Chain A
């Protein structure tokens, strides 16, 4: 907790100190440097505002120059028409918010991801550029002019940009150190798993685009203030954005100081060259050298020696003591000494008197012509552990996905505590009480084990510590470096961090050792004891049968058995389904 606080405060202190020093000693900077400082800070500012969308929430979006242009043209129009400052400020931000949310809405309605999303944003950018150039009232290619007769324009602009850059870094820090940052990094890592942890992807992206877009408009306005005009070439030029994107990626996307480090690599020589000589050739040679340098830096950083690649991480690691390296082994060492696992099944007498946690009624699901689930019905009571078994391709995972809200069933009903959940989205179902884990444990690699769990905790300051203790997890560890076992337990802890009515575990034991099986199952029993109904999908029937109150068997999408383990496993139909007898009969 203390270190968290320090991590939160420290950047603010540094930021305030740097800001103070810069502003105090500003008069010492020679006048001829001012233009270079302005062009540098312009790039740095855009890198930081873009980092919110491109780095933290991970959308390689190229439409940011549209925000920039909204600011630039907005400023010139406001200045020439002498509109009230507050009003025009509000209008610009409003316009940015509308454009940002519209962009997210369109992209997610079209289901665009990855390269398609990047292309889409490029197209939107080119579209906006064509519209701006084609609109007479915006001045076409010449743009709009508002000449400012201020002799100190470069100095004043540089000053404005210093304030803006500090603001942008502050906003980045605020996001990264709040729950927003956790959610956004989770969306970047794995949108499906984020949805299954109650994160509404579209809503978070809209917030990110609106914040980042609004900030970006300020940069455009400040640039227009400095230049005295807004032109398609400068206000909508893609080269500035490309430099910003490169800076963010070289320094470490989604980190607080990444954009700064990347900026140092990508910017400098060209500016210095332009300061020293008015010859375009010199500037071009400087550019070529600089891009080559950036290339080499990225090349060195992304080789295997730096698997934790990014300049930002590199610098962090230099200062970090090696105290934490042993924790993974230590953690497993601790866990490998299990106390006596309670092998006896829980007392079943009480289960019949408990209420139903979930009712699944007549679920049928077809994929194209293939019927994957056919009239599957069962109920599960609070605190009950049910094993869902069946041969490969029986429809187990599809059933999990139907319950979790990934697929909509063709017919059937699912009730949770008497309320139908069929019309809820995956995050809504999570909030309502359905949690699930995935076949291959899906933790968020950008987050530590502790942060993975904190993602789903609401208003309970001690809950994370409790869970870490209960599951004996190394909280500080980067989840991407964790062994499979730790990732599994992290995923389970994340799923049940807030009270859940139903927990679905998809093959929680796969890839683990027998000792670890016991430990996972013990945790499952503890979860059930707290009143959560647990469904375990597993192939290791004998192992899970020990903790299950009931077994449900699926075969070819049909529920063929439902009852106590001892009874179900002796059932001829069940044995036949596993050994393929029924298929022989069909043939």
Chain B
């Protein structure tokens, strides 16, 4: 039981990172990026490629994945998000179409470069130690620690520094921020690239514990959407929802058939949504 709890915590903390990147971009910037899952998977392939073919140390490869994630986000911002701003109405619809296309495009490229097979790192599960009677795999422990540190630092930055406050206010009062001289377009770009870097990091860490396939982009996107919305697009809410999602998934997977477990997770999500419906105002949820 403790072992499952630990695996759940580790995978949940990665889900938290994935959803936080998505939430930053959607919650603050009001930008929908359906290619978020593709950026995560690109991070996974980066680590795979560097580690297995070029003998990079795994965690150096993870660092490269962060940079790659940020770069891919930069490209997506340039080709898809900027054009969507040019239209005054229906910006979300345009973003949905653009990023859906990019997701399909990136999936095809992944398939071309890495084939459609499941790929994993050779060192996976190799390295483990026993603590309090629990088999702790080192990659999971590192993933968990890194995710918690990064999340904490990001929270502190957004909450307590002038830059962070300015960032949040720019999202909330875009026109007024523009009026007082905040370089709004640069702020949004920064936000988007930050989201991409988080996705790259999450992908890099995910690669150390799980195999990768091109089709993963879609399931990762679903995780991001689900956790972001269950957490009501708030920083702490998303953090908690991500961890809980990971734990629920691992525990249910050990008790039931994996597909039944998936079905149960979705039912739990629907319950969270209806719970929110009863106990919160409608307005907070209407984003798109």
Q: Which residues in A have some Cβ–Cβ distance to B below 8 Å?
A: 60, 106, 109-116, 118-120, 122-124, 126-127, 130-131, 133-134, 238-239, 242-243, 245-246, 249-250, 281, 284-285, 287-288, 291-292, 294-295, 298-299, 302-304
Whether a CB of chain A sits under 8 angstroms from the CB of B105 is yes
Residues of B close to A118: CB separation below 8 A: 96, 288
Residue-wise, chain B 268-280 has the 8 Å CB interface mask toward A (1 for contact) of 0110011001000
Residues of A within 8 A of B104 (CB): 239, 242-243, 246, 287, 291
Asked if B60 is at the interface of the complex by the 8 Å CB criterion, the answer is no
CB within 8 A of A116: which of B112, B274, B287?
B287
When chains A and B are docked, how far (Å) is the Cα of A106 from the Cα of B267?
12
B17 within 8 A of A: no
Most chain A beta-carbon contacts within 10 A, residue among B26, B98, B101, B269:
B101
* 4 smallest beta-carbon distances between A and B, as pairs: A114-B288, A134-B259, A115-B288, A130-B262
B149 at the interface (CB under 8 A from A): no
Cβ–Cβ < 8 Å partners of B262 in chain A: 126-127, 130, 134
Are B97 and A134 in touch, CB under 8 angstroms? no
Number of A-B contacts (CB under 8 A): 115
Contact yes or no, A111 B277, CB < 8 A? yes
- Range of interface residues on B (Cβ < 8 Å): 35 or more
Residues of chain A contacted by B100 (CB below 8 angstroms):
242, 245-246
Instruction: Contact check, B273 vs A120: say whether CB atoms are below 8 A apart.
Output: yes
Chain A: interface secondary structure? helix
| Complex contact A122–B101 (CB within 8 A) | no
Task: Determine the main DSSP class of B at the interface with A.
Answer: helix
CA gap between A127 and B263 in the complex, in Å: 5
Contact yes or no, A302 B83, CB < 8 A: yes
With CB as the reference atom, state the residue of chain A lying closest to B260.
A134
Query: What is the bound-complex CA distance between A275 and B7, given in angstroms?
Result: 46
When each residue 170-201 of chain B gets 1 if its CB lies under 8 Å from chain A and 0 otherwise, what string results?
A: 00000000000000000000000000000000
A/B interface sample: 10 pairs, CB < 8 A: A106-B270, A114-B288, A115-B287, A115-B288, A119-B225, A123-B226, A130-B259, A288-B108, A295-B105, A302-B84
Flag if A110 contacts B102 (CB, 8 Å). Answer: no
Given A123-B222, A288-B109, A291-B101, decide whether A110 and B87 contact each other with a Cβ distance below 8 A: no
Task: Enumerate chain A residues within 8 angstroms of B105, measured Cβ to Cβ.
Answer: 288, 291-292, 295
Asked if A110 meets B274 with Cβ closer than 8 Å, knowing A284-B111, A295-B101, the reply is yes
In the bound complex, residues from chain A placing their C-beta under 8 Å from that of B259 are 130-131, 133-134
Closest Cβ–Cβ distance, residue A341 to chain B (whole Å): 36
B218 beta carbon closer than 8 Å to chain A: yes
Verify B97–A122 contact, CB threshold 8 A. no
**Which residues on the A side are within 8 Å of B225 (C-beta)?**
119, 122
CA distance A246 to B222 in the complex (A): 19
